[in-house]
Amino acid sequence: MPLRQVPLGDQGGGFGFVIVPLTTQDIKGLKKELPPYLDDPIGVGEKIEEYLGNADYTWKDWDFLLGILFGSSEKLMILQKARQLWKDEHPEAARGAGPNVPNVPTVDDAIPQVDLQWNPNEEISLARLRDYRVYLIRAIKSAVSRTNNIAEAMSLEQEKHESPSHWLERIREALWKHGGMDPEGGAFDTLLKEAQLAQTLPLDFAVHNIQPGDWVLVKEWKEAPLEAKWRGPFQVLLTTETAIKTAEHGWTHHTRVKVSEALEIWTSQLEEKNGKPRLTLCRSGLEQ
């Protein structure tokens, strides 16, 4: 923990902070756990946030951490994003302090590019350190261009035996993770449909295991009240990847069909036993 709270003792009582620097070994250990930044900036930000916990960190700690975890261009991109976030959310700070905005620091005071020697034992400096952390974490998650990330999500391909529902969920997660888009927004739904249609594999495998010659029941609907009834069994003549054909119902989607036992057939056989005729009934197929 870079800033550790300790009792001040003979320095007036109470508690204060002392600096416990981060080590290169610690940060390199964290870097091994991070996904590639340009592929998953939100995931990287969340991992860093989890690693740092609730501790407070100095400006030098952050400079050291960013320098090890990110390349020089990535670090610059993150710092520029943090400054832009501050300016966008504090437009009054650009006009400088005045009667109406006495406590709003400028971007150079809030997201400095050089060490301002903030003293964590001073209330204002500690607040600045904590704001600095918040904006850097937000910048790490949002600095990568969304256009590039959406393209990454749109380049996914459906796996050969992946179910449609799992495929849809994977695209949804990729658009949220890589594009940072609002899952409830209309633009998200539009991109989701485009991605699913563009990247869904042609159906080259059956989604059922019914074969010609099998016996099946077909679901029909009876009105007033509406309820499902299974009719049959009917013998399967042909199949496709998603449908079954019978003589009685033609082509039927596989979701309205279930496998049945073979049709029950009775036959009779007349024979003589002990000089007397005897009629024997035989049953073929299995009982429903």
Q: For the segment 3-56, what is each residue's pLDDT rounded down to a tens digit?
A: 445 445 555 555 544 555 678 888 888 899 999 998 888 889 999 998 888 888
pTM above 0.85, yes or no: no
Residues 27 and 95 grouped into a single domain: yes
- pLDDT recorded at residue 114: 93
Last residue of a domain, one of 100, 120, 142: 142
The verdict on whether omega for the bond into residue 164 sits within 30 degrees of 0, i.e. cis, is no
Residue 72 lies in a domain: yes
Residue 195 lies in a domain: yes
For 99-130, give one letter per residue: b (16+ CB within 10 A) or e.
eeeeebbbbeebbbeeeeebebbeeeebebbe
Residues 134 and 150 grouped into a single domain: no
Residues 192 and 228 grouped into a single domain: no
- pLDDT recorded at residue 66: 94
Residues 165 and 231 grouped into a single domain: no
In the chain, how many domains are there? 3
Residues 51 and 91 grouped into a single domain: yes
Give dist(CA 17, CA 31) in Å, integer.
27
Give dist(CA 253, CA 276) in Å, integer.
54
Residues 179 and 273 grouped into a single domain: no
Give dist(CA 96, CA 102) in Å, integer.
8
- pLDDT recorded at residue 82: 93
- pLDDT recorded at residue 3: 47
Q: What are the backbone angles phi and psi of residue 16, rounded to the nearest 5°?
A: -145, 180
Expressed as residue numbers, the domain containing 136 is 3-142
Residue 12 lies in a domain: yes
Residue 261 lies in a domain: yes
Residues 18 and 54 grouped into a single domain: yes
Residue 210 lies in a domain: no
Give the chain's residues under pLDDT 50. 1, 3-4, 6-7, 16-17, 97-98, 285-288
Residue 205 lies in a domain: no
